[in-house]
Structure 1
Amino acid sequence: MNLVKLISTLTIVLCCFAFESLADPLQSKFNLFELTKLAKAGDVKAQFRLGSAYDTGTGVRRSRNKAEKWYRMAAESGYAEAQNSLGSGYQAEEMYQEAFYWYEKAAKQNHSVAIGNLGYLYDLGLGVPQDRQKGYELYLRSAELGWAQSMFNIGQMLGSGQLGKTDLMSGCVWTIRALKYSDHKNTKLSSNYTYDKKLKEQASATVNYCKNTLSLDEYRKAEKVANSWSPSFIDD
């Protein structure tokens, strides 16, 4: 299987899960009464966590309507996490212009996931005119902030020649980085186990392709280049 075919296969799978909300509503002990009380009092973090709980069905019966209600309250108050999650909900419903609106608001606050999601819309031309170069630039900005999905997407673009020239070496470099930073232990971003596992599987499959396609010296060089870099939030 060539890299272009492999990447196309992975992209189909990728679209099904890559833009779920990654919030963990149980980073501290979950108390529905206290959380609701804080949310109703205008605490944006509580509103977001309550939205996340309803979104994932954690500690409460799952309700998309209630999730959207609380996400929107926090999003309209300028909370970037909620803006990204609200955008994700709209994207899942294929309401791409609304998704773009909220992703853009979060991206202006340097939210790495929202920046990557915005890049995805440009990359595929969802709700906006397709502009792969713009998508690449946004993926790069997101990757530099530590978002592994964007690292993987950059690898796909470079390795399959979506920007005009096929660069397998650079594609492999970015995929190695994606595999490394898909492990939440290597990032300060919120983690979602299902998401991490699927991204790792995709990145691992592509890295194995790189190992089998590049010469040993080429792969070692790609690995060295990949590991000499770290996102901007990582302390050396």
Structure 2
Amino acid sequence: MNDTAQPTPSPHEQAEALFQQALALDHDGASPTDLAEAAKLYEQAAELGHPAAMFNLALMHQSGQLGKPNYRKAEEFYKQAIKQGHAASMFNLASLYHDGRLGEPDYIQAAKLYELAIEQNLPEAMVGIAFMYIRGELGKPDYPKAEERLLQAIDLGNTLAMLNLALLYKSGALGDKRLDKAQYWFAKAHEAGDPHAHLYFSNQLISDTGNQLQQAGVTQELCSELQDALDKLEFVFFTIREEHRVKKAIPLSHFTRWEAIESILSVDPNGQPKPGGNCLRQYHVDYMNDPTEGRRLLEVKPKAVALEEEHQTAKTSAKLKTLIDRHYHSQFDYCPDSISILPSVFVTSLTKESDRLDLWRAYGRDGDGFCLTFTPNMSEQDALRTMLSRANHEAFLSQSTNGDTQSRTPSEPAHDQPPPLYEIRYGDKEIAATLKRLAAPIERVEQLRDQLDNQALKNRVSSCMAAILLELLYLYKDEQYSTEKEVRALRVLHIGDPRIKADERHPGCLYCETPPFLFSSGKTEVIVGPKVAQPMAALWNIRWRLNKLGYARQASVRRSGVSYR
């Protein structure tokens, strides 16, 4: 039997073994003890010249995995790895200098390191230095150099470069706005898997309007200016709507009728679950009990003795009223058929209040109804996707595709996720502030629209404006309703959309449904109204349904505590 000694591992082999041991401990969910042990092993491997260990150790210090973020320590280990030619370390250290994590931003050092990484074909470094050229951090903005570096990164498959090149073309920084090139690279980024690229596409309504104008012989310059003005109007719309959006979990209540409860907790007489359910109904806005619904922004009048600013607010309100009444509401009266009719708004009304007498009277069938109280998890929504959502604009696209309502399917919220919810505003100051923000973009579109010499084309531009702004009308109500603290979910659908249903009444009222999120939102409470004729029958029937559907643990049922009078 030979007792041959094993050869001593080389320093490289020792370093790699230590690195692999560290990797096994450094993973998502690792305990502080494991991370500390991984750092020791990385450091031992780094001392033996292992660049990836130096890089990972720098990352641990930068991200705060070993306590508070320590950018100086990260700098130290990145520099060690850079001496070994480690490209990712060059990029990360450049980013620290670029972002000012080590004091004041050091653009010179950042650019040098980006260039070193570029020599090793690292696309992230190409994007990093392109940002510097765009922002003018190395002197004056140099958009052609930025374009060159972004194209270089694109050749290596970088989706962020595709997205930012599209934004560069859309901005007009390279001369004229190159909307066709912008759309091309947004589409490429989307195809390559960028999760947000499609949100930056020009609104198809706006693009279709621009194409129609071009086909009618309108100059390229005027078409481009009109599309840009409509884009800016839409961005103001997005910004205002986003300020209304509910962004955190808050208790909300919805008042409804027994037939809706049966639909939400849908089982057959034997207790077998039926398809659907667990969602709220969104009814056609024409059924709302406020006769001034959707008119708050349209009916602002100047006072007898008003400041100039108030006159301007009233003027914008009047413009908006003319726009909406002429190019939206009037179309319902004069539409020649039900195919060509414009899309309608559907609303779910919620409130931050719950078991309250005035709410039972107004919304709970005068006490003979039901109230569901729940806390939807809004934090899981993709903020950018929700802010830039055009789901309610998409319904209007059927009007530009020869009435083919099936040719496009409006975007849906994620399954089991609540729809975007928006707080209603009531105050005169809030109305005035909104109209003030809309004034300039509306005026700009009107100025360009009035340069058209064809009334049909002018109408097309106005209809596009009305479609863009429609949702805003339903985010404001008269101040007399302010105690309701209303929150809404809005949908815009064409009458032929297969998701529209008729309820149990005769004639049935039209509604669509939210995604099935109600009992996926944590604890839910069902309150039986104070004037329900057989409250105990209702209470036990709801408990039975909750058990059959598997919601019993996260839902409770009780009778209203309100004394009706």
Matched residue, 1:205: 199
* CA deviation after TM superposition for structure 1 residue 214, in Å: 2.0
* CA deviation after TM superposition for structure 1 residue 177, in Å: 2.2
Shift in alpha-carbon separation, 1:105–1:130, aligned structure 2, 3 A: same
Matched residue, 1:44: 51
State the alpha-carbon separation in 2 of the partners of residues 179 and 137 from structure 1: 21
Matched residue, 2:174: 163
* CA deviation after TM superposition for structure 1 residue 163, in Å: 0.8
Give the 3-state SS of the residue equivalent to 1:214 in structure 2: helix
Asked if 1:140 corresponds to 2:151, the answer is yes
* CA deviation after TM superposition for structure 1 residue 54, in Å: 1.2
Unaligned stretches of 5+ residues in structure 1: 1-25, 184-199, 219-236
Aligned positions of 1:51-90 closer than 5 A: 51-58=58-65, 61-90=68-97
Give the 3-state SS of the residue equivalent to 2:176 in structure 1: coil
State the alpha-carbon separation in 2 of the partners of residues 110 and 128 from structure 1: 25
Moved over 6 A (4+): none
Aligned positions of 1:167-186 closer than 5 A: 167-183=178-194
The C-alpha deviation readout for 1:119-163, integer Å capped at 9, x for no partner, is 121222212443210110101111221222211111011112111
1:121 to 116, 132, 135: 132
* CA deviation after TM superposition for structure 1 residue 79, in Å: 0.8
Shift in alpha-carbon separation, 1:128–1:120, aligned structure 2, 3 A: same
Shift in alpha-carbon separation, 1:210–1:172, aligned structure 2, 3 A: farther
Of 157-166 and 100-109, deviating more is 157-166
* CA deviation after TM superposition for structure 1 residue 107, in Å: 0.5
Give the AA of the match of 2:91: N
Shift in alpha-carbon separation, 1:86–1:33, aligned structure 2, 3 A: same
Contact 1:151–1:177 at 8 Å: present in 2 too? yes
Give the 3-state SS of the residue equivalent to 1:50 in structure 2: helix
Matched residue, 1:95: 106
1:131 to 129, 137, 142: 142
State the alpha-carbon separation in 1 of the partners of residues 133 and 70 from structure 2: 30
Q: What RMSD in Å do the two structures reach over aligned CA positions?
A: 2.3
Shift in alpha-carbon separation, 1:79–1:128, aligned structure 2, 3 A: farther
Contact 1:122–1:132 at 8 Å: present in 2 too? yes
The C-alpha deviation readout for 1:89-123, integer Å capped at 9, x for no partner, is 00011211110010000011110000111112122
What TM-score do you get using the length of structure 1 for normalisation?
0.67
* CA deviation after TM superposition for structure 1 residue 28, in Å: 5.4
* CA deviation after TM superposition for structure 1 residue 40, in Å: 1.9
Unaligned stretches of 5+ residues in structure 2: 1-21, 27-37, 212-565
Contact 1:172–1:210 at 8 Å: present in 2 too? no
Give the 3-state SS of the residue equivalent to 1:137 in structure 2: helix
Contact 1:97–1:128 at 8 Å: present in 2 too? no
Give the AA of the match of 2:116: K
2:208 to 204, 211, 215: 215
Of Structure 1 and Structure 2, the greater strand share is in 2
Give the AA of the match of 1:134: K
State the alpha-carbon separation in 2 of the partners of residues 181 and 57 from structure 1: 32
The C-alpha deviation readout for 1:183-211, integer Å capped at 9, x for no partner, is 4xxxxxxxxxxxxxxxx44x34312x343
Bigger-Rg structure (1/2): 2
Identical aligned residues as a percent = 25
Of Structure 1 and Structure 2, the greater helix share is in 1
The number of aligned residues is 174
State the alpha-carbon separation in 2 of the partners of residues 127 and 215 from structure 1: 40
Asked if 1:109 corresponds to 2:109, the answer is no
Give the AA of the match of 2:97: Y
* CA deviation after TM superposition for structure 1 residue 59, in Å: 5.3
Contact 1:53–1:60 at 8 Å: present in 2 too? no
Give the 3-state SS of the residue equivalent to 1:110 in structure 2: coil
What TM-score do you get using the length of structure 2 for normalisation?
0.29
The C-alpha deviation readout for 1:14-46, integer Å capped at 9, x for no partner, is xxxxxxxxxxxx975412221111112211111
State the alpha-carbon separation in 1 of the partners of residues 136 and 167 from structure 2: 17
Shift in alpha-carbon separation, 1:143–1:58, aligned structure 2, 3 A: farther
The C-alpha deviation readout for 1:30-86, integer Å capped at 9, x for no partner, is 122211111122111110111111111235542111111111111232111000001
Of 167-176 and 109-118, deviating more is 167-176
Shift in alpha-carbon separation, 1:178–1:27, aligned structure 2, 3 A: farther
Give the 3-state SS of the residue equivalent to 2:175 in structure 1: coil
